[in-house]
Amino acid sequence: MNSYYIAAAILIFLIALAHSLLGEMMLFSYIFNTEFFASPKRLFIKRVLRFAWHLTTTAWWCIAIILYAAAIPNPSIKLIAGAISISFFASFLLALVITRGKHLSWIVFLAISILTWIGSR
């Protein structure tokens, strides 16, 4: 196993976790209390910002899984495709739940997840 890839994967996982947690605690709590968010569309804007923020975390975790898979001698492309499929499924759930389906990216994320999953089998 390539320990450099594994170390990088662990660091990516941790920085992504910190990104989500600190974003919620320090960034969103501040910007959502500004006058800008007094507009009629403030709830949708808040949801889209939160969704986009956590989408980054999901993408980074996917990269961490791919790096971990690359650390295995002769990694299977099916393992890598499975990681991508799961990442896009998580992205689908984020878009659907956080924006309550109003950000239509969930449709494309679900299609990518299903197609990648089927293709990896």
Range of the domain at 31: 3-119
Residue 60 gets the label, from left (phi > 0), alpha (psi -120 to 50) or beta, of alpha
Can you tell me the mean pLDDT for 91-102?
Answer: 94
Better-predicted residue by pLDDT, 38 or 22: 22
Domains contained in the chain, number: 1
Q: Average per-residue pLDDT in the chain?
A: 89
Give yes or no for residue 37 having a pLDDT over 70. Answer: no
Better-predicted residue by pLDDT, 103 or 30: 103
Q: How far is CA 86 from the centre of its chain?
A: 10
What CA–CA distance (Å, rounded) separates 102 from 115? 23
Give yes or no for residue 109 having a pLDDT over 90. Answer: yes
Can you tell me the mean pLDDT for 99-118?
Answer: 95
Better-predicted residue by pLDDT, 37 or 15: 15
